[in-house]
A and B are shown apart, each in its own frame.
Chain A
Amino acid sequence: EVQLVESGGGVVRPGGSLRLSCAAFGFTFDDYGMSWVRHAPGKGLEWVSGINWSGRSTEYGDSVKGRFTISRDNAKNSLYLQMNSLRVEDTALYYCARQGGTSATLGWFDPWGQGTLVTVSS
């Protein structure tokens, strides 16, 4: 069964850091691009960042550019999101999702993980 399992969420103070992980099961991980998408309370889905199959190409949403870094370890079938300089507005449920192909810029998102909750609060 194709499955994505996120971890690493928690409560952090503004300005703090957190590293999210996403473990992939049931498919050839390095055949696919991957993305992080978040859902803040009362708001819509927001794409955060994407990475291609090799890890050599990455993209970021404007709201996180310069603060977040996406990476992957194909040997460990894992995706990561290093989040620095966290802000209150980064509070959200963070999902990892598989792209429809090798790129981070094309395709679609399927499947999605269950999400890991990040709360930024003083």
Chain B
Amino acid sequence: QSVLTQPPSVSAAPGQKVTVSCSGSSSNIGNNFVSWYLHLPGTAPKLLIYDNNKRPSGIPDRFSGSKSGTSATLGITGLQTGDEADYYCGTWDSSLSAWVFGGGTKLTVL
């Protein structure tokens, strides 16, 4: 059972938009920055969003992040088959004194 709650899977057609939610509490998302990662099992995870809504250099603006209270959301527009992967949210939990990740959301582009 992960400290941060994500839907196990989301799906949408190519070209469409999808959102991935990440729900936490005041000890993690509510008082700390959220980051998002793309992961293909067996390969290096990739940072997509940091500090809730900032994109690193090289990440297209199809990817966006937002945070409200104790929840965060990753948005992906103009879906491509190459976007199929597992997506994770992560943040520091001040009560646990530990980094925590969501359980991961598998994106399928139909």
Contacts and interface: CB of A to CB of B under 8 A. Distances in A.
Interface in A38-96: 39, 44-47, 50, 59-62, 93, 95
A44 B104 contact: yes
A108 B47 contact: yes
Contacts, number: 70
Interface string B68-97: 000000000000000000101010100011
Contact of A113 (B35, B44, B51): B44
Contact of B101 (A44, A50, A62, A107): A44
B44 A112 contact: yes
User: How big is chain A's contact interface, by range?
Assistant: 20 to 34
B50 A95 contact: no
A109 B90 contact: yes
A59 B39 contact: no
17 contacts: A44-B2, A44-B102, A45-B45, A45-B88, A47-B90, A47-B101, A105-B92, A105-B99, A106-B33, A106-B92, A108-B35, A110-B47, A110-B56, A111-B44, A111-B47, A115-B42, A115-B44
